[in-house]
Structure 1
Amino acid sequence: MDKNVEEEPSPAIDETSSKEEQLVSPSDPDSVSLAEGEPMSKRKRKKLLKMQQWEVKKKEKRLKEKEKMKQRKLEAIQAGLPTRNGPSRKELKRNKIDYSKSEITIAVDLSFDEMMIDKDVAKCVKQLLRIYTMNRRSEKPIPLHFTGIRPGGAVEKHLKRNDGYQHWDVKFSGESFVDLFDRDKLVYLSSESDNVLTTLEKDHVYVIGGLVDHNQYKGHCHGLASEMGIRHARLPLSEHIVIKSRTILTINQVFEILMKVQLGKPWQETLLEVLPMRKGAKPKEDAVVDETKTSNESEVAELTEMKEATEEETNGNEATS
């Protein structure tokens, strides 16, 4: 075969090329933005193809889920069963918080946005959204204040990404919680505090630090409360449960614990419900039983070994004699 004669491209290569050409089709705005300027690399084409395929699959999945929901609702209606598990939107709108009648108030201190990277600020605001959602669905909503929001700051910027956040049943403020409430009624929650929170006192304001820092500023909220001369306390984790790993609670987890205790649930039951299963939390009593069991098993094993060693020694002496 003549070496100068060029071989025809294989059909497989043509097919791949045609697929890649479709990615930069002018009809696709995403493709156009990537195709403008320099030619798109093969790696970028593959990445874009995967993105487009994922978007198609996501839309298909949503449609299937909607169809399933419609079918379940229809079956429930035919069977005379309720079609809704939680409260309706109308019920939630009527479930307004009476700030004058509530037993406790919760404030989230959001004055730390300059201490967090943008990614952690986004996580913080996401946790605020979870708090708001939980509170709306609670049978006994708690007056909720988001304080220390810096005008034009990162927290405000991320809050604005949630359409209609201004209409949440929450009191937003740029002022510090210290200026909004009676100092004698404030309790700043901090895991470094030596004071243990055993009961939720009526008319008191419990402050949660809105700082997502991955331990970079450990003890900062505790130091802040001490400097301000206000009370501080920690949740009674070690008094009710035993956890193998170190526990760092999120803002929404702290809120959920307070919410459940306020509804009358015992501390231990609440902590076991809220903490993730992967933390391996156990009731304090169970942990004590496990430790005693392990200790007893060790003692039995030692006694068995001693007995076996004595028997071997006796048998050896008898054989020698």
Structure 2
Amino acid sequence: MKLSDQIISSAKETISNEAQAISNLKNFIDSDFVSTVETIYNSQGRVVVTGIGKSAIIANKIVATLNSTGTPAIFMHAADAIHGDLGIVQENDVVICISKSGNSPEIKVLVPLIKNFNNKLIALTANKDSFLGKEADHILNCYIEKEACPNNLAPTTSTTAQMVVGDALAICLLDLKGFTSKDFAKYHPGGTLGKKLYLRVSDIAGQNMMPQVSPETDIASAIVEISEKMLGVTAVIENEQIIGIITDGDIRRMLKNHQNIGELKARDIMSASPKTIDEDELAVEALDLLEKNKISQLLAVKEGKYKGVVHIHNLIREGIL
């Protein structure tokens, strides 16, 4: 077998192995899983997630997911716990202990200490008959038949299964809490994701100039207004109300269709009833409108009054698109 074929075959086998194991996890969503979700949902404390080795890495990921979806959580390394870090666990906390075998020496030392504190203990394990499984109040079963590792040694499929069960737990809690995109934005204020969840039209329109002309403005002045405000557009305003819009495209069509433009006014070439968006809407909603209508600009409004322009270039610059 060629080296390239061997690589492709190995990669595909790994993915198939893990995909099958993940699919099989559905069979383990049982009353214990329900009880775990209810226990955490009704808890007045945090979720303390602990593990050792690769399971500790997965524990960190589960903690991050829980925190970002509205369930306070904290990581505690199983080895460090028995050397002082056990103080992390507070009276009302629920402890999730992650271990594939459920029989590692550190786990056997840690579990009785947690039980002595009378905290609820959840086992996330592939071996429900293990020491951890038997001592836990509830079991999150993440059994797998084999690792993706050809020697069935390196934690691969097992850690993927642990992470997937952790995700299922977090999403169930999210659903119970009625956690919305607005709540999500509170915990993700940075980066593109945050901007999609909190950046509003007013934040963008406020950065731009406000091109505007009256219906009787001559064409030369309208062109100057569009050029100086650098947005490729101007609103046409009458009695503080938007009655139309003139874009670069309208100017090009005018030049094509009219030999003598000296007599023309803004109202003669404007497009009536332009697309608008309330300035309190999310910027991502503006993007949806722009894409839906295949246009480059929207007029921002507040209670029907003109407040500025949102250009698709603004959204690109902000990373929304």
| TM-based fold match above 0.5 | no
TM-score scaled to structure 2, two decimals?
0.26
Whose strand proportion is higher, 1 or 2?
2
Greater per-residue helix proportion: 1
